[in-house]
Chain A
Amino acid sequence: QKEVEQNSGPLSVPEGAIASLNCTYSDRGSQSFFWYRQYSGKSPELIMSIYSNGDKEDGRFTAQLNKASQYVSLLIRDSQPSDSATYLCAGTRGGGSYIPTFGRGTSLIVHP
C-alpha cells in the first residue's frame, strides 16, 4: 500500500464547477501536506501547503486537512480549462525523517 493514495481519475468537470480532489495517507506521524499541479511535460509546481487541521484558502483553491481521518482534499472553485492538469498530493513521513512522499496523482479535465 502506497503511503499517499489518490484516485488516478480522470476527474472530469464542466467549466465553472467545483472540482474536488481527494487524498488519503497512512502515516499518522505525517505533519506537512502539499498539493502540486503538473501540466503534461512540465514539472510539478506548488499550489497549496497545509499543516494543521481545517481549511486553508488561497484564491480559487481551498485545501482541507483532517488528521483524525487521515485525508487531505483540494477544492478548485470556478474551474477553468487551464486547470486541466495532474494534481499531486504529497506528505512528509513521520518518525522524525520528514522524507517527502507523493501520491500518483489525479488527472483533472475541465471541459468548456
Chain B
Amino acid sequence: DVKVTQSSRYLVKRTGEKVFLECVQDMDHENMFWYRQDPGLGLRLIYFSYDVKMKEKGDIPEGYSVSREKKERFSLILESASTSQTSMYLCASSINRLYEQYFGPGTRLTVT
C-alpha cells in the first residue's frame, strides 16, 4: 500500500512565523502535490513537483514556497504565516499525473 505521511496533524502558529510542512511518500512516486482545503472552496492546488528539485506553481501559490531535495520528500513553506493561511493542508503523490493520487492524513494549520 502507498503510504503518504505528513509531519503534523495539528499545528498552531503565530502571524509572521515561518512554517514548514513536510510530506513523505514511500512508493517512489514521481509527482507530489500540496493542496489546501477550505469549506465551500474545495481542494486547491498550491504547488506540485514532477521530479527532484523541480516544482511548478498551482492555482494559489502566493505566500507559499516548496522544496523537493529528495524524491520521497516534499516540503511546503509559509514564509510569513498569515491568518488567511489557516486551513487544512493536504499532501498527495502519484506515479504519473494522469493517474490517481494518494493523500496524506492532512495538517490542520491554525495561524493566530
Interface residues of A (CB under 8 A from B): 31-32, 34, 42-46, 49, 51, 88, 90, 92, 97-105
- A88-B43, A99-B58, A104-B40 in contact; A43/B100 too (CB < 8 A)? no
Q: Is there contact, CB below 8 Å, between A99 and B48?
A: yes
* A-B residue pairs in contact (CB < 8 Å), sample of 23: A31-B98, A42-B106, A43-B90, A43-B106, A44-B43, A44-B103, A46-B100, A49-B100, A88-B42, A88-B43, A90-B101, A92-B97, A97-B97, A98-B98, A99-B45, A99-B56, A100-B33, A100-B97, A100-B101, A101-B45, A102-B42, A104-B41, A104-B42
Q: Is there contact, CB below 8 Å, between B101 and A43?
A: no
The B interface, classified by DSSP as helix, strand, loop or mixed, is loop
The A interface, classified by DSSP as helix, strand, loop or mixed, is loop
Residues from chain B with Cβ under 8 Å of A90 in the complex: 101
Cα distance, A104 to B38, chains bound together (Å): 10
